[in-house]
Structure 1
Amino acid sequence: MHSVLETPLIRELATGGWKCLDFGPFREGVTMHRLYGGDDGPSAAVLKYEPGARVPLHEHTGFEHVLVLDGSQSDDAGHYSVGTFTVNPPGTTHRVWSDEGCVVLLIWERPVRILEDA
């Protein structure tokens, strides 16, 4: 039995397969296609940021893994282009934005806690 995030799915997403997904509202300027999970507990999703979209300051309550699939994304610690994989450990905080727009695969252990309004 294979998990939802088996290697072929990651490879398909990384080579543009995300373009065939249905995206729904997440935050202003950011849409989401959930791969598994819900509002509480482990989840995975593909997020699409429109140019200039931002996610406000938030705290990670569990590990979050981010793979940039298209465009580029920035946070308080740096700028991440296609193929960049980052891990945000529990207890870390940051703001996220994309000047040019981007698509990212997110896998998180637990939901984030928003610390400020957008």
Structure 2
Amino acid sequence: MKNRASHLSLTPDAIADIPESEWQDFRPGVSLYPLHGEPPGRQSSALLRYQPGASVPGHTHLGVEHIFVIQGSQEDENGYYPTGTLLISPIGSSHHVTSVEGCIVLAVWSDGIQVE
């Protein structure tokens, strides 16, 4: 995969301008816009777009994962995360993510994930 430019505006208008054809299916109801590397693999990043009610199944982090909630909200077994929240999941942590209202997040992985 070709890496994207080293900068990207993460405003709602800029994200809305990303062509639909550049979003990839990730999970049912969840699309991925790759930014760097081969998401969700080693040294990679992407935007994830959750439709209302979408979820990502339980998974374990093989490296550190950073999630920044840009729009909407998501939740897991540990809490509710509205717009502006930064989540850092350490190596070996596990969770199942859902988004009742839908959301867009920036995800940065130091290593991949293992789906449970």
TM-score (norm 1): 0.85
Residue equivalent to 1:31: 31
Q: Which runs of 5 or more structure 1 residues have no equivalent in the other structure?
A: none
Inter-partner Cα distance in structure 2 for 1:47 and 1:73: 11
Percent of pairs identical after alignment?
A: 40
1:54-84 Cα offsets, whole Å, 9 max, x none, are 1111000000000001000001100001110
CA contact (8 A) 1:65 1:87 kept: yes
Q: CA RMSD in A?
A: 1.3
Would you say 1:19 and 2:20 are equivalent positions?
A: no
Residue equivalent to 1:72: 73
Inter-partner Cα distance in structure 2 for 1:23 and 1:97: 19
TM-score (norm 2): 0.87
CA shift at 1:114, angstroms?
Answer: 0.1
- Structure 2 SS opposite 1:110: coil
Residue equivalent to 1:51: 52
Residue equivalent to 2:105: 104
Report how many residues are paired.
107
1:17-56 Cα offsets, whole Å, 9 max, x none, are 2212231111100001000101541100000000000111
